Structure 1
Amino acid sequence: MTYKTLTAASLAALILGAGGAMADTWRYAFEEAMEEVQGKFAQKFKEEVEANSDHEVQLFPFGTLGESADIMEQAQSGILQFVDQSPGFTGALIPEAQVFFVPYLLPQDQEQLVSFFRNSKAIKELFPPLYAEQGLELLTMFPEGEVMMTTTTEVKSPEDLNEVKFRVMTNPLLVEGYKAFGATPTPLPWGEVYGALQTGIIQGQENPAFFIESTKMYEVTDYITRAGHNNFTTAVMANKDFFDGLSEDEQKVVQDAIAASFDYIVEYQTGLTEKSLEKIKEAKPEITITELSEEERAPFKATADSVEQEFLEIGGPKAQEILDQMKADLETATQ
């Protein structure tokens, strides 16, 4: 029996039967491995909660409970108390969250980026009601690193992506973004990506450098391109009924643990991109890593307006308000 064939009820039985039946145990699933960025955040959260309460936090890294869609379903149904998932996978549930895939919207400067995520009114005030409608309490969003393309052929312009089957998350705006870049976007669950690159079903994918290195995507691609078009964003959520049922003291424990984990993960990521690229170079000296010049980025940047307009069409009833507030937040962060 595979994880994909497990029903929510049987998953609950498995988890509870594995020793999670105690009321004091909180379950937290995420989309990456334990030693990747989301895993590091989760471990810090666990450490903080357990140091400041009687609760135990049980962690479930990628693959333990299925794919991204599976853990979201489990969080909404209350099997999981916490879940960490990119807006790339919640776009169908919360179309406004697709705003994070408008290319060249987020700044590349790390201090400005962190300031935006720490202080954004859009994240703190506008997004939480949208998540609440889906039975989720939005606790925080944080950046995971500059997104880079890995491909089997060199990419220096949108023309180089012509007819390239490029894996994207199952997110409508990300699909439109890569269409605008000239590629043939191909939504695939993460578990199928390595094999699809290896067999030539697809010829490219995107992720931060640490993830490219840890998942060995460089083994099945030959070029890494830094076009500066985005930074990978993720969101930590709680089941809303669970969170609302906590005492004020318990809610404060969760919120304080989230704040400490945010600070920790920002510090953890300092220099991580360059270290990861160095490891990739050591493992595969022949790989080509290219940072596009401003001139080379120009035709990619030229697609941003059309993708932004597409977001306003498919991004839900609050799309315009979200986009306007994010731009105001970003202007504040860059000052």
Structure 2
Amino acid sequence: MTYKTLTAASLVALILGSGGALADTWRYAFEEAMDEVQGKFAQKFKEEVEANSDHEIQLFPFGTLGESADIMEQAQSGILQFVDQSPGFTGALIPEAQVFFVPYLLPADQDQLVKFFRESKTIHELFPPLYADQGLQLLTMFPEGEVMMTTTSAVQAPADLDEVKFRVMTNPLLVSSYQSFGATPTPLPWGEVYGALQTGIIQGQENPAFFIESTKMYEVTDYITRTGHNNFTTAVMANLDFYEGLSDEDKKVVQDAIAAAFDYIIDYQTGLTEESLKKIMEAKPSMTITTLSEEQRRPFIDTAPAVEEEFLKIGGPKAQEILDQMKADLAAVSGD
């Protein structure tokens, strides 16, 4: 996968290209393609905003403005009004957001998961001030799908990951998580992953099934393993100064569009994982897809407390409060 980095000249062209409509044109960048989950969310958001206001939304999928670090920088500086980015990349800015990478913390049950994202005090009350400290207005977080490992050799136990160079996002806790799994975590920008797998620089990576299928990661790996350790989480944010400068009417337009897009994307994901795995098998019948049993998962699950302890060390000053509240939120949705 290739990408075009935004140069100073092209940035000026982008801004000037909006002409007199600059005040009514909002720019929104995300980390996936138009036909992937973040792209579908963004298109629904655009549809809702444009149907209920005079504003236009310009969408910038992965690669058009650079890598994840680039679009975050542009959102913080106000070049972009909206950005969708996983806590996996914002962890350096907001260390508490790394809580989403403690393995086996989020529920596997889809109804409980969605209820958590809708009702979580952690997301709706504790995280917004932390994002605001970085010049960002947190608008929503949503799940994108069960995270699966794709590797060049079979994985049924942590021992099978020994000496496996496993690509992870540039997130310290995700590095710790895969170290505890027994792998050699290797942080890489997404644009380098396919080539690194193809040439053997790395031997594995993790993502939801739809992303493995759409990016053709199955072409350069032979095994997909469902360990049940996580669900990919992403966050939609606005530049804080931009958002605070909106009229109450425009803030409501944004909030209503976010709510509509959230409902849409949850419905869109129904059956998406199994449909994506089916497409992978049709494209590459030799692919092996394994769902680990509870007994096989136990050694992976047993690593979670150590990763949790690491989160409390590196997760920022609010780490304990975030973790405690998140566990309370999860207990509430599970009925425990």
TM-score interval, normalised by the smaller of the two chains: over 0.9
Q: For the residues of structure 2 that align with 1:17 and 1:152, how far apart are their CA atoms? A: 47
Once the two structures are TM-superposed, the CA of residue 22 in structure 1 deviates from its matched residue by: 2.1
> Could you list the per-position Cα deviations for residues 148-170 of structure 1 after superposition, in whole angstroms to 9, with x for gaps in the alignment?
00000000000000000000000
Please name the residue that 1:299 is paired with. Answer: 299
- Kindly indicate whether residue 105 of structure 2 is the aligned counterpart of residue 105 of structure 1: yes
Q: Is the 8 A contact 2:141 2:233 kept in 1?
A: yes
Aligned to 1:289: 289
Q: Deviation string for 1:70-124 (max 9, x for gaps)?
A: 0000000000000000000000000000000000000000000000000000000
Any residues of structure 2 matched to 1:148-163 within 5 Å, and which? 148-163=148-163
1:12 is the counterpart of 2:11: yes
Q: Which amino acid aligns with 2:94?
A: I
CA distance in structure 1 between the aligned counterparts of 2:329 and 2:247, rounded to whole angstroms:
32
Task: Show CA shifts across 1:130-187 (max 9, x none).
Answer: 0000000000000000000000000000000000000000000000000000000000
Post-superposition offset of 1:219? 0.1
Q: Counterpart in 2 of 1:189?
A: 189
1:37 aligns with 2:46: no
SS at match of 1:139: strand
Code of the aligned partner of 1:6? T
Q: Distance in 2 between matches of 1:39 and 1:22?
A: 23
Superposed counterparts of 1:213-292, under 5 Å: 213-292=213-292
SS in 1 for 2:17: helix
Change (3 A) 1:257 1:212: same
Distance, in Å, in 2 between the alignment partners of 1:17 and 1:287 is: 48
Find the aligned partners of 1:151 and 1:81 in 2 and give their Cα distance.
37
Output one character per residue of 1:11-33: Cα deviation in whole Å (capped at 9) or x when no partner.
53131243365210000000000
CA RMSD of aligned residues (A): 1.0
Q: Residue type matched to 1:154 in 2?
A: A
**Hey, what does 2:333 align to over in structure 1?**
333
SS for the counterpart of 1:107 is coil
**What corresponds to 1:126 in structure 2?**
126
Q: Distance in 2 between matches of 1:168 and 1:17?
A: 37
Quickly say closer, same or farther: Cα 1:134–1:11, change in 2 above 3 A: farther
Q: Which residue of 1 aligns with 2:50?
A: 50
SS across alignment from 1:47: helix
Q: Cα distance, 1:5 vs. partner?
A: 6.9
> How far apart are 1:4 and its partner, in Å?
3.9
Unaligned runs of at least 5 residues, structure 2: none
TM-score (norm 2): 0.97
Give, in whole Å, the separation in 1 of the partners of 2:244 and 2:11: 21
Whole-angstrom CA distance in 1 between matches of 2:10 and 2:233: 28
Determine if contact 2:6/2:66 at 8 Å carries over to the other structure. no
Secondary structure class of the residue paired with 1:23: helix
Aligned length: 332
Structure 1: any 5+ residue segments left out of the alignment? none
Q: TM-score, normalised by structure 1?
A: 0.98
